[in-house]
Chain A
Amino acid sequence: MLQQIWTEMKETFFPTWQDCPFCQNPLGQSGKSWGRSGLCRNCIQEIEALELDLVQCQRCSKYLRLPKEFLESRKLKDLRLPREHICENCSEQEPLFQGAWNIGPYEGLLRQAIHDLKYKGRRNVAVPLGKMMAQQIWLYGPNSSLMNPWGDLYGAVLIPIPLHADKLYSRNFNQSYLLAKSIAEETALPVADVLVRKGDTETQAHLGRYERLRNLEGQFELAQGAVLLNKAGQQAKVAILVDDVYTTGATVTEATKVLRQSGVDSVYVVTASAGIGV
C-alpha cells in the first residue's frame, strides 16, 4: 500500500518516459524530437536523413534519385539542387490532383513504420505518422496566411482511401482511416469516409504502373447516399485524399476522378510516404 503510494508519487513528480512508437526505446534515451510527432530524436533524424540525395517531383512529390555525376560534383553545401524537376509520369500526363505531399521516401524506418501499421497491426504508429502528415499540410498548403492558416484548404474534408470489405475484415482496420483521424486531430478538418471499393482488386504491391492503372479503373465509388459536407455544412469544394504510400499515383488518380464527378473542385493528396522513381 505504502509502496503503491510511493510509486504513484514518483510517477507524478518524475514521470517515466513514454516509449517512442517507432523504435520502442524510451524517449529519454535519445531525447524527444522537435515538433509534435512524439517520436524520439533518433527516429526523426533517421527519417529526415532518408531524403538526402533525393529530389522530389514538383508535381506529385515522388522522389527521384539525383544523378551520380551531380552527387559527385556537389562539393559545396549551397550548390543548388535541380529545382524544376518533374518526374516522367507527370510530364507525360498531368495528374488530376492539385498537389501531393508526403513525409518522406518509402524506405528505411518510414517503410518499417508503415509495415508495422499495416501488417503487424500496430495502430498506435498511425498517430505520429498522421501528425507528421499534418505538419506537411501546414508547411505546403497553398495560400495560407496568418488570418487563414488553412489557405486554399479552408473547408476541406479528409477522405481516406478505402479498403475492400474483405480486406477490411481480415485486417480489422483501415490504415488510411487511422491516418486521416490523426491528421484531423491536428488540423481540425473533418474526416469523411465516403469512398468504397467496388470489386476485389489484386494487391497493388507487385504490379507495374500500367497494370496498376488498369487494375484500378472504376474501382471507387461514392458510398450510397453519402454527401460531402465540410464543417460549415456546405458541399465541400476541396478534398484531401489520405493514403499510406504513393507509388504511381494510380489509386489516388482513380479516387480523384470519383471526387471530381461528385462536385469537388480541387483534390489534394497527402500520403505517409512516396516511392522512389525515375
Chain B
Amino acid sequence: MRGKGENAVVCLKGFVYLARGKGKSWLGFTHDPGLDLTILQREGYETVVSLTPTLPIGVALYVLQELRGLSGLQKRSLFNQSLLQAERLWKKTLQTLSWGLPLVDLEDDSTGSSKTANDNNGNGKISSRRFESKNIDEELTYWSHQAAQILQSMQELPDSFRQRYALHIYGPVRSKTVESELVTGLVDLRVLAETLEGRILYMGEIEKALTERWRRERLSYPTGNLEDMMHLLALVGAVEVFPSLIMEGKDKGRCLRCGQNKQIAVSSCVRCGREKCYYCDGCLSMGESRLCRPLYALAGDEGWIEQWQEKVEPWFKSSATSSAISSATFSTTSSTTSTATSSSSASSILEGKEWHGQEFRESRKKNHRSWPLLSFPLTEAQEEASDDLLKWLDGEKNKEALVWAACGAGKTEVSFAAIAQLLEAGGRVLFAVPRRDVVLELEPRIQKAFPGVSVVTLYGSSPRKYDQAQLVIATTHQVIRFYRAFDLVVLDEVDAFPYQGSEMLYHAVMRSKKKEGSIVFMTATPDHVMKKKVKEKKLSLVTIPARHHGYPVPEPQMILEKEWRWNREQLIFPDKLLNFLHRTVEGDLSQVFIFVPSIFLAQRVGESLKEATKGPPFNDFKGSWVEYSHSRDPQREAKRQAFSQQLFPFFVTTSIMERGITVPRANVVVLFAENERIYDERTLIQMAGRAGRSTERPYGDVWFVGTRLTASMKEAERSIVWLNEEARKKGYLHGSTERIRPLA
C-alpha cells in the first residue's frame, strides 16, 4: 500500500452526501459510502445520496460546511420555506437550465452509477425505488441545487458535469463479512484512538506513531485500512477529520494546520490529479499541508478513551458479536482478516495492563503533594509572583496570564507551583520554549522538580515523538501536533519564538490547550499587543521585577558618536570604548559581550578588535582574546561554551547570543545601536539583561553605542527603569538602590 516513508502523502477524495431515513436526513462527507451506511443504519438512515462529484477533501468539506449552514437556516426561517415553494414553482425552468435535476437523467445515472459502485466496493444495493417515481424529490433537488451552486461559484465543477449531474445512490449493506470485519477492527480502532488522543496528525504521522508503539510495546499494527478506520471513528464522533487546507471561496484557502491564509501557493498536484491544487507555504517545513491531504484529530478533553466502552463500542457491536467482545476471545469470532497477533494483543489491552497509557492514567490519580521539589528556595519576588499565579489559576476569569519578569529574575521556577497544582489534579501540562537547546537544558530541571511524572521532550529530531505524557516540554513547532490536550500551557520567552508574533504560534498553542485550559505567557519583554491586552484587562499580569540577588537590572548608558570611522576594513574604535574594554577586562576581570547588527559586521568588528587588542592599552595577546560568532558560524556552539567557561574575554556576536547564555561577570556593549531594523526595544532589553546576573557580581555596565538616539533605545531604557522602580516600591531591592558604577 503506502510506506514510502515520510514523504508519503495520502490524498483523500470523497463527496458530500445526504443520508436519508424516514422523515429525517443528514449531510455528511465520505470516501466510501459503505462505511457510513454501516453506522448510519443504526440511526435509521437507509440510503446515502451523493450530492457532489468526487472532490478533494478541502473542497468537499467547504461545501459541506456551507450546506450545513444552509440547513440551520432552513430550519429556522419560514422565509426559506417559501423559497422552497417558489423553487417548486420554478422547477420546470430549473430543469431547462439543467440545474434542477432533470428527472430522466437522475434515473439513468442513479442506476448506472450505483452499479459501478457495486463493482468498486463489492457491496451496496440499489436502494429504494421511490426516487424513480415521477415526482421530483424536493429535498434532494434543493440540496443538490445548493451544492452545485456552491461548486459553480468556486469554479470547481468540471465541464463534463455541466450538462448532466449524476447523483449516486447507495443502499444499505447486508453482508456478514463487513460486520465481522468491523468487530475485529474494534481493537485496532482503540489502538488508533489511543495513539491519536489529544493530537492532530497526518496519516503519515499516525503510521509513524503506530510503528513506534508497535516496536516498543509489541502491540499489533492495525490490519485494516487506516483511512477507513479513521472514517468510522469520525462517524461515531470521536475523530475529527480536517483537510489540512480548506477552501474559503474561490481561490481563497486557509491552512488549518498553521491557521494562516496569506501564504497559500498554487501548484499542480500529481496525487489528486488537479492542475490547481493549493498548498501552504507557511508550515512547509513541517510537512506539506495541501488541499487534498487530510488531518485527523481526537480531542483530549472529551474523554473518548476513558468512556470508550459507553461511547464508542456500542456503535460497532451487533447483537451476535457483543458477547464475544466482552469475553475478550476474539480469535473465535474474528473472520479471515484477523490475525493471531491482533487477537492476542486484544486480550492484553482489554486486561489493561501492558499499555502504558493506562499506567499514565492511573498515575494521574495518585497525589504527589511534594511537588515541586526545588533545589533552592525562591526569592521574595519569585514567591509572591508564584502565589499570584496560583491565585489566578484558581479564581480569575481570564484564561491567559502574562508573567513579566526582569531579565534573569528566574521566570521558569515561578511557574512550577502552578504546574504542580495541575499535575496533582491529574491534568496535562505543556511547557513550550523557543529553541531546542532550551528544551534539553530544561528537561533535567523539570524532572528533578516533579519526580514521578512522565515527561516527554519534543524537538525537531527528538525520538519518541508520539508518546503520551503528563508533562510535555516542546519547541513551538512541535506544538502544532497537539489538539485540545493540555490543561495548562506555559510559554516561556514568548518574545523569542521563531515566528514571533505569528499566527502560527498563536493558532497552534490555542489549539493545543483544552477548551477550559489556561495559558501563561512568560517574557522579559512583552510586545505592545500584550501590554495593550493587559491594559484592557484581557490578560492578567504578574510581575517579577527584581533579580534573585536583589540588585536592580543594570540601566543602559547611551554613548553617542558622531560617526563610525573605518580605516579600510578596520573599524576604528573610539578611545572611550577601548578604555572601557580594557578596564573591564584587566581592571575588573570581567567579560564583555559586544553585539553588532549583522553577520558581516561581526566579522569586520571581530577582526578589527583582534587588531586593536594588540596595541595599547592592551598587552599583546596576539588577538586570542577576541572571538566572533554569528548564525552561519558552524562553531558557534563551541564558542558559546568557551565563553561561558570564561576562556576568552571579548565576544563579538550578532543577536543570536542575546539570550540563553549566562556568564558570572559580564558587561555589555551594543555597537551600531542606531540600527533600528535589527535592534528593537526587546532585543536591546535582552542584550542589556546579559549583564550583572550573578551574585558574585550583581552589577554591570551596559553601553549602547550609536550615532543617534533611537526610539527603541529610549523605550528599552524606560522599560528597564520602570521594572526597577516597581521592584523598589515593592521592597525587593535589598542591595544598594543606587546605581552602581564601580568603573566610572
Contact = CB atoms under 8 A, between A and B. Distances in A.
Given A120-B284, A121-B284, A121-B288, A173 B270 contact: yes
**Which of A121, A124, A166 has most chain B Cβ within 10 Å?**
A121
B4 A170 contact: yes
B8 interface: yes
A172 B265 contact: no
A123 B285 contact: no
Interface in A138-183: 166, 168-173
B391 interface: no
Contacts of A121: 284, 288
Interface in A20-72: 29
A170 B9 contact: yes
Nearest to A122: B284
Contacts of B285: 120
Contacts of A122: 284
A173 B267 contact: yes
Given A123-B265, A124-B265, A172 B270 contact: yes
Given A123-B265, A124-B265, A172 B284 contact: no
A163 to B, nearest CB: 10
A45 to B, nearest CB: 11
Contacts of A173: 267-268, 270
A194 B713 CA distance: 61
A173 B9 CA distance: 12
Contacts of B271: 169, 172
A172 B8 contact: no
A119 B4 CA distance: 14
Contact of B270 (A29, A120, A123, A169): A169
A124 B7 contact: no
A170 B285 CA distance: 16
A169 B9 CA distance: 9
Contacts of A166: 4
A170 B8 contact: yes
B465 to A, nearest CB: 19
Which secondary structure dominates where chain A touches chain B?
helix
A124 B288 CA distance: 14
A29 B654 CA distance: 15
A234 B372 CA distance: 80
Interface string B1-18: 000110111000000000
Using C-beta atoms within 8 Å of the partner chain, give the interface range for chain A: 10 to 19
Contacts of A29: 677
Contacts of B284: 120-122
B59 to A, nearest CB: 18
Nearest to A174: B270
B265 A170 contact: no
Contacts of A172: 9, 269-271, 288
Contacts of B5: 170
Nearest to B281: A124
B549 to A, nearest CB: 39
A84 B4 CA distance: 46
A8 to B, nearest CB: 14
Interface string A110-132: 00000000001111100000000
Contacts of B8: 170
B265 A171 contact: no
Nearest to A166: B4
A168 B8 CA distance: 11
Residue among B5, B7, B265, B268 with max Cβ neighbours from chain A (10 Å): B7
Nearest to B677: A29
Interface in B301-315: none
Contacts of A171: 7
Contacts of B267: 123, 173
A121 B9 CA distance: 12
Interface in B18-72: none
Contacts of A168: 270
Nearest to A119: B7
A170 B270 CA distance: 9
Contact of A170 (B7, B269, B281, B677): B7
Contacts of B677: 29
Given A170-B5, A172-B270, 5 more contacts: A121-B284, A166-B4, A170-B7, A170-B9, A172-B271
Q: Would you list the 7 A-B pairs with minimal beta carbon distance, nearest first? A: A170-B4, A170-B7, A172-B270, A121-B288, A168-B270, A123-B267, A169-B270
19 contacts: A29-B677, A120-B284, A120-B285, A122-B284, A124-B265, A166-B4, A168-B270, A169-B270, A169-B271, A170-B4, A170-B5, A170-B7, A170-B9, A171-B7, A172-B270, A172-B288, A173-B267, A173-B268, A173-B270
Interface of B: 4-5, 7-9, 265, 267-271, 281, 284-285, 288, 677
Interface of A: 29, 120-124, 166, 168-173
